[in-house]
């Protein structure tokens, strides 16, 4: 009997130890998973599509349907550099949906770089407009000399395909075009971006090939200004010389270069609310989407605050559109790709105005982990 008991004990100890070790491993794994849930950002919105990467969404309502004109991120295996060489997009897709939260249609390739006669590389953030019975796609690309210009392509359909004009818009430069239609039917383009967007190289009105990469060293000078111009009636050209946009503080002082949390960097957008002009933009290296308000399309615009806090990924780029009486913010982040800065996905969330016309600041992520399931 003692021999049997001893045998059972000898055979049972490894099983018991194995069971304890298994529980310890499971506990450790659960602790690790809980820690990851606590540290991993929990988005407030899911990507509109996941079969391709998209970024820089410009949203519009055309004929009652929502159309989104994003960049199409790809893995092109271009080495990363501080001027964005790894953002080597080669075509555009158009997305659409009947309602926010509804099914999203990818209409496929709307314009390919090989069909743009003047373009060399890098199809960055686009925008679109409708006028004269025609849909216009505005896009930046580096020309054969590696200088960013802004081109235009046309279509009879908001989803394309689009046919590019043989030359870029005369007098255009830099990137991130955004086209705004005012209540009087006039259209204006807002554009520009420093660093990789080359805006700092146009300070004299002529491109400086060996100019500074940024203006970040000019802390006490006014920050480089975004650009804008009224569009011609045919929407294929500027109808005036390019203007600079002032962004000032509440005391009327222009924001200086060192004010990295408020100064313009890139990603212009214009919308109108309660007869006021809302110019919004990205602060670039500090990753905020901010806004300033003015009384006319040319400004000056007085800084008001932050619309969107920084997102996962280096860039922050947006658009704002009214849909059926509600306002929405379209934006992107890099959560789906695990934080790879050049592989982003487009998202949307509701935007809320306060009674005084200010915009409620949005955080793209919940500040707590989800409740764990009951054991």
DSSP result, 75-112: ---PPP-TT-TT----EEEEEEESSTTS--EEEEEEEE
Rounded distance between C-alpha atoms, residue 269 and residue 57, angstroms: 11
Which pLDDT belongs to residue 40?
A: 76
For 22, what's the count of Cα atoms within 13 Å in the CB-facing half-sphere?
A: 6
Residue 16 domain-assigned (yes or no)? no
- Catalytic residue, chosen from 88, 127, 176, 266, is 266
Domain range enclosing 203: 40-366
On whether the CB atoms of residues 101 and 121 are closer than 8 A, the answer is no
> Could you tell me the CA-to-CA distances from 330 to 39, 60, 101, 193 in Å, in that order?
25, 10, 12, 19
Residue 8 domain-assigned (yes or no)? no
> Could you tell me the CA-to-CA distances from 125 to 298, 317, 366 in Å, in that order?
22, 9, 27
Neighbours of 323 (CB within 10 A): 16
Cis peptide before 71 (omega within 30 of 0): no
On whether the CB atoms of residues 269 and 192 are closer than 8 A, the answer is no
Residue 29 domain-assigned (yes or no)? no
Which pLDDT belongs to residue 214?
A: 67
Residue 7 domain-assigned (yes or no)? no
- Catalytic residue, chosen from 56, 127, 176, 333, is 56
CATH number of residue 289's parent domain? 2.115.10.20
* Three-state secondary structure readout of 171-185: CCCCCCCEEEECCCC
Residue 69 domain-assigned (yes or no)? yes
Q: What is the DSSP string of 139-161?
A: EEEEETTS-EEEEEEEESSTT--
Residue 33 domain-assigned (yes or no)? no
Residue 34 domain-assigned (yes or no)? no
Of the candidates 328, 318, 349, 346, the one whose C-alpha atom is nearest the C-alpha of residue 44 is 349
Which pLDDT belongs to residue 367?
A: 76
**38 included as an active-site residue:** no
Which pLDDT belongs to residue 29?
A: 46
Which pLDDT belongs to residue 38?
A: 52
Q: What is the pLDDT along the chain (375 residues), one digit of tens a residue?
A: 333 333 333 334 333 334 444 445 444 445 444 444 456 789 999 999 999 999 999 999 999 999 999 999 999 999 988 889 999 999 999 999 999 999 999 999 999 999 999 999 999 999 999 999 999 999 999 999 999 999 999 999 999 999 999 999 999 999 999 999 999 999 999 999 999 999 999 988 899 988 877 665 678 999 999 999 999 999 999 999 999 999 999 999 999 999 999 999 999 999 999 999 999 999 999 999 999 999 999 999 999 999 999 999 999 999 999 999 999 999 999 999 999 999 999 999 999 999 999 999 999 999 754 443 333
**266 included as an active-site residue:** yes
> Could you tell me the CA-to-CA distances from 49 to 127, 224, 334 in Å, in that order?
19, 35, 13
Label residue 247 exposed, middle or buried (CB < 10 Å: 0-12, 13-18, 19+): buried
Residue 18 domain-assigned (yes or no)? no
Number of domains, the chain: 1
């Amino acid at each position: 009997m003692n021999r049997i008991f001893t045998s059972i004990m000898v055979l049972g100890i490894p099983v018991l130890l194995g069971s304890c070790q298994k529980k310890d491993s499971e506990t450790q794994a659960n602790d690790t998973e809980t820690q990851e849930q606590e540290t991993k950002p929990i988005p407030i919105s899911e990507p509109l599509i996941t079969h391709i990467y998209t970024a820089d969404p410009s949203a519009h309502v055309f004929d009652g349907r929502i159309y989104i004109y994003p960049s199409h991120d790809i893995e092109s295996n271009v080495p990363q550099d501080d001027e964005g060489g790894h953002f080597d997009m080669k075509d555009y897709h158009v997305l659409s949906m009947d309602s926010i939260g509804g099914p999203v249609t990818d209409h496929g390739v709307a314009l390919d770089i090989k069909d743009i006669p003047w373009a060399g590389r890098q199809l960055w953030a686009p925008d679109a407009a409708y006028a004269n019975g025609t849909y216009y796609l505005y896009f930046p690309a580096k020309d054969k000399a590696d200088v960013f210009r802004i081109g235009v392509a046309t279509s009879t359909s908001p989803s394309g395909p689009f046919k590019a004009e043989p030359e870029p818009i005369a007098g255009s430069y830099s990137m991130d075009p955004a086209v705004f239609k005012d209540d009087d039917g006039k259209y204006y383009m807002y554009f520009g971006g420093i660093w990789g967007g080359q805006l700092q190289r146009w300070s004299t009105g002529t491109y400086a090939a060996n100019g500074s990469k940024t203006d970040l060293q000019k802390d006490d000078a006014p920050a480089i200004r975004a650009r804008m111009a009224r569009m011609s009636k045919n929407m294929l050209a500027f109808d005036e010389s390019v203007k600079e946009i002032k962004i000032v503080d509440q005391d009327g002082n222009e924001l200086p270069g060192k004010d990295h949390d408020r100064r313009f960097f890139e990603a212009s957008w214009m919308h109108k609310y309660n007869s006021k002009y809302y110019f919004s933009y990205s602060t670039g290296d500090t990753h905020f989407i901010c806004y300033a308000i003015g009384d006319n399309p040319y400004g000056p615009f007085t800084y008001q605050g932050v619309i969107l806090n920084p997102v996962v990924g280096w860039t922050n780029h947006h658009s704002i559109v009214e849909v059926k009486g509600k306002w929405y913010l379209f934006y992107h982040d890099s959560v789906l790709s695990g934080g790879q800065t050049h592989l982003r996905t487009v998202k949307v969330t509701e935007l809320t105005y306060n009674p005084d016309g200010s915009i409620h600041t949005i955080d793209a992520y919940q500040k707590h982990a989800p409740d764990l399931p009951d054991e």
